[in-house]
Every structure is written in C-alpha cells, then in structure tokens.
C-alpha cells in the first residue's frame, strides 16, 4: 500500500478513537445532568465510533499494512447546555466527513481501488451521522417540546452493529 495512504488511514483510525472518546465525554456530561435518554443516545454513538475504529483496523490488517495507535487527545468535558453538546457533535462530524472525502481523494490519486471501495461505506455513513445529529438539534430547538419528553425519546435509541463486517 502507498505509504502516505497507509499513514492517512492510520490517522483516521486514531481520529475515530478520539471521536469515541469525545462522545464518551459528552455522555458523561449529559449523565451528570440526569438526562439519561440523551446519555443513552450518546452511548450508542460511542459504540458506533468504536465499530468505525475496528473497520479501519481490520482493513489495514487485511491489506497487510501497519496499524499504529497514537495517544488520544484529552476531550472537552464541559458544555453550556445539551444544545451546545449536539452543536459540537455536528461540528465534529463535519470534520470527519471532510477527512473521509480527503481520504477518498488520496486513494483515488494513488489508484488504490480497494481503499476507495472500502471508504464508500464511510461516505454513506457520514451522511447518516450528520443527519442524526441535525435531527436532535432541531428537536431541542422545537418550542413546546420539553427536554423531559425528548430525553425519553432519545432513551429509545438502540445500538445495532453493522450487518456486514467490512473486509
Ligand atoms: Fe466515525 Fe461519527 O464518524
């Protein structure tokens, strides 16, 4: 595998770990407010991010490339409100989407079709990730909908592992 691409895929694996970490920090903040439904939503997010880490991990191994873990940066741990948490989450997901797009560009440039194909799952996933967060932001902003009712709704979110493991 092209060395620059191998390094960039490792960077993304580590960024997905950071994503899991910052969402765990957000979950902890929401839990401290006794918003257990919000915390449940974020718990699912943490688990999804870990599946993203493992997808990169498996792919790199399957391609006989090196996996190198980095130190994970300290995440923010306090926010002004649940709305501020989800606005931060949206900003974070937009960064992830940009990083995935840049990875596709690089894999295309070096002619690595297998990596381009692997990354397509993430291209689709990012559309969903951003839409999910936008939906929560819109709901929080809805006048007349109490935080209590929304907390109960977000408590219904269930973690479902991806159906087909990515090679
Ligand atoms: Fe793994 Fe939320 O991007």
Mean of the per-residue pLDDT values for the chain? 93
Give the per-residue pLDDT at 106.
98
pLDDT of residue 101: 98
The number of distinct structural domains making up the chain is 1
Decide if 160 is inside a domain: no
Q: In this structure, is residue 29 part of a structural domain?
A: yes
SS (H, E, C) 101-136: HHHHHHHHHCCCHHHHHHHHHHHHHHHHHHHHHHHH
How remote is the CA of residue 19 from the centroid of ligand 1, in Å?
6
pLDDT digits (tens, 9 = 90+) for 18-76: 999 999 999 999 999 999 999 999 999 999 999 999 999 999 999 999 999 999 999 99
Does a structural domain hold residue 166? Answer: no
* Statement: the pTM of the whole predicted model exceeds 0.85: yes
* CATH number of the CATH domain containing 129: 1.20.1260.10
How far apart CA 69 and CA 4 sit, in angstroms, is 16
Kindly state whether residue 161 falls inside one of the protein's structural domains.
no
Residue 65 within a domain = yes
Cβ(46) to ligand 1 under 6 A? no
Whether 162 maps to a domain, the answer reads no
Q: Which atom of ligand 1 lies closest to the CA of 92?
A: 2
- 116 is in which domain, residue-wise? 3-154
Q: Is the CB of 100 under 6 A from ligand 1?
A: no
Distances (CA, A) of 18 to 79, 80, 143: 18, 21, 33
Q: How confident is the model at residue 152 (pLDDT cuts 50, 70, 90)?
A: confident
């Amino acid at each position: 595998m092209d060395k620059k691409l191998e390094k960039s895929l490792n960077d993304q694996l580590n960024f997905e770990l950071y994503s899991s970490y910052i969402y765990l920090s957000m979950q902890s903040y929401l839990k401290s407010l006794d918003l257990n439904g919000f915390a449940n939503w974020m718990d699912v997010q943490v688990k999804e991010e870990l599946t993203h880490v493992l997808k990169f991990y498996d792919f790199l191994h399957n391609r006989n490339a090196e996996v190198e873990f980095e130190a994970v940066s300290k995440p923010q741990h306090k926010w002004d409100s649940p709305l501020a948490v989800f606005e931060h989450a949206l900003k974070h997901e937009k960064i992830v989407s940009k990083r995935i797009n840049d990875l596709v560009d690089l894999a295309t440039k070096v002619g690595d079709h297998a990596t381009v194909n692997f990354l397509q799952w993430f291209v689709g996933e990012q559309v969903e990730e951003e839409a999910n967060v936008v939906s929560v932001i819109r709901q929080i902003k809805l006048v007349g909908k109490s935080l209590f009712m929304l907390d109960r709704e977000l408590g219904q979110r269930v973690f479902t592992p991806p159906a087909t493991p990515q090679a």
